Amino acid sequence: MCFMLYLKSNRKMESIKSFFDSFKEFIWDIIGYLLPGSYILILLSVCVKPEYFISSAIGTSKDDYYSFIFIVISYLLGYVAYGFGWAKENLLGKYSYVKQIEAKVATRKAFSLSKQLISKSLEKKDVTDDLSGATVRDLRSIAMSFIPEHDQKIYTFTFRSDLSNQIGNISIITGIFGMLFSIVKPSSLSIFKTDSAHVIIYVCLFICYFFLRQTRNRFYAISIGLPFSIYTAKATQL
């Protein structure tokens, strides 16, 4: 009887834990795309002339669905910003921050030890695949499968890196376009506000990108390198 009660209690706890994990992933997904998209709309509302902004098309009265539309568009723009970021990195090729950081991680001792330990672990399970051609991300995925209890910690740094990357890209693009319009001042297509206060905003946005780039690189380096350090420490203790 006690054993059955223990099983029921254990299953209940697992169900609750699974629910909260799923809810947490859902919230992170919403925040990860909603924040960058909202940032885009906020910047446009500040920097773009009212007649060119979305509010002129959907209205701003309390009786309409402006708030709902704002959230939906923000969420969709978040996906656009994310896709743009990865397209940019693919175009940069070996100069991408992703490639450069992964190349640095590949030179660290924790990575080489993890590679050896993973090879030995796979050999014990009669898996003879050669890992010499495996990428850093391939080995990272394998290492993480041995330390699932640390997934949340690692993905937290990945999330922060992605968010910094998207906010940085949005900032520098807005800053560059704003400064260009302020310098050229086309009479036929004057979209951005070009007074002195907004020029300062554009310069600040341009500068902010370089600080956000450092944040992005730092968090991405942790998210890539941390699994190897944790896995090595755990495997060598066994």
Question: Is the Cβ–Cβ distance between 57 and 18 less than 8 Å?
Answer: no
* Per-residue pLDDT at 19 exceeds 70: no
Residues 90-144: tens digit of each pLDDT: 999 989 999 999 999 999 999 989 988 888 887 777 766 667 778 899 899 889 9
Rounded CA-CA distance 43/6 in Å is 55
Cα–Cα distance, 143 to 226 (Å, whole number): 10
Average pLDDT score over the chain: 83
At 152, which helix (H) or strand (E)? Answer: helix 151-184
Task: Give the whole-angstrom CA distance, residue 125 versus residue 119.
Answer: 10
pLDDT at 36 over 70: yes
Q: For residues 132 and 165, is the Cβ–Cβ distance under 8 A?
A: no
> What mean pLDDT do residues 4-10 have?
43
Element (H, E) at 62: none
pLDDT, tens digit, for every residue of 53-93? 766 555 545 556 677 788 888 999 999 999 999 999 999 99
Q: Return the minimum-mean-pLDDT range out of 27-31, 165-169, 204-208.
A: 27-31
